[in-house]
A = this chain, B = another copy of it.
Amino acid sequence: MRMTELWKGKELAGSIKAEAKKLLSTSNEPPKTLAIILPRGDASAADYASFIAKSGEKIGLPTQSIVVDDAKELFSALTQASADPQVGGIIVQRPYPQDVAEEDLQAKVPEEKDVDGISFTNLGRLFAYHPRYVPATASAMLRLMKHHRLPLKGSRVVIVGRSLAVGRPLWALLLREHATITVCHTRTKDLRAEVSRAEVLCVAAGKAGLITPDMVSSEMVVVDAGYNYLDDGSGPLGDCHPEVGEVAGAYTPVPGGVGPVTTAVLLLHAARAAVGVG
């Protein structure tokens, strides 16, 4: 008998997209464009851009893709999009061209168009508890927890993964919710011991099956941001072994858990930027 509560993201994602659509349809001015800057010749970046464009179309968000070859073209496109009053939000899609220094990008994406929350100012705002645009995956994880009315104040949370895209922003969001948080990573000596102490386990390690069922208890809520493809093409797989979804008290399935909420949050950010309320 399955005891695990499955936290699917579809319903929450739907309500966030509805909020975005409403923002766009009730604005006095026509919505501005979301500019997506992406590297030439990367199939998955192109797929993602076209997925965002289609998702945007459904809610009334105009998008525009700009394909670039190298750092010079990327920063030229970025400068133009930053100055263009018709552009509301900007996404710079990974992988960046090899000659792009990420630091330059983080310094140059303008805060008010930075719907991915990658700029130093938006990261600093998050760190200082004055968030504006927050990286979407971290925001989606928190939203899923709140949607399920998970008590966070004083809770013992363990975050596995410390990326700038997920683990670190999630830490800031959850600290602001008064959780007691331990961040684990590749250098953590005894991952099992740390993880097993969690009341809430958030995983964003980018490693399929890293969290095994024996690390998890039936009391534990497990939020899995993993979305991994194996070399043989199989996937997407979470950072948790599939059996974790049968042991934990609650689990966000992969696919269908954090993922759809992340997309919805990104669209909401883009909608805010499009109507100038971000």
Q: Chain A residues in contact with chain B, CB under 8 A?
A: 103, 106-107, 119-130, 153-154, 156, 162, 164, 168, 171-172, 175, 178, 180-185, 187-189, 194
Contacts and interface: CB of A to CB of B under 8 A. Distances in A.
A154 B123 contact: no
29 contacts: A103-B128, A103-B130, A106-B124, A106-B125, A106-B128, A106-B130, A107-B121, A119-B124, A120-B120, A120-B125, A122-B124, A123-B128, A124-B124, A124-B125, A124-B127, A126-B127, A127-B164, A154-B187, A154-B188, A171-B171, A175-B183, A175-B185, A178-B185, A180-B182, A180-B183, A180-B188, A180-B189, A180-B194, A181-B182
Nearest to A122: B124
Nearest to A194: B180
Given A182-B182, A185-B178, A127 B130 contact: no
Contacts of A125: 106, 120, 124
A187 B178 contact: yes
Nearest to A199: B189
Number of copies: 2
Contact of A123 (B107, B127, B181, B189): B127
Contacts of A178: 185, 187
Contacts of A130: 103, 106, 120
A157 to B, nearest CB: 10
Contacts of A154: 187-189
A181 to B, nearest CB: 6
Nearest to A169: B127
A122 B171 CA distance: 18
Q: Of A129, A156, A180, which is in contact with the most chain B CB atoms at under 10 Å from its CB? A: A180
Q: Of A119, A125, A194, which is in contact with the most chain B CB atoms at under 10 Å from its CB? A: A125
Contacts of A129: 164
A180 B175 contact: no
A184 to B, nearest CB: 6
A128 B164 contact: yes
A128 B103 CA distance: 9
A162 B174 CA distance: 12
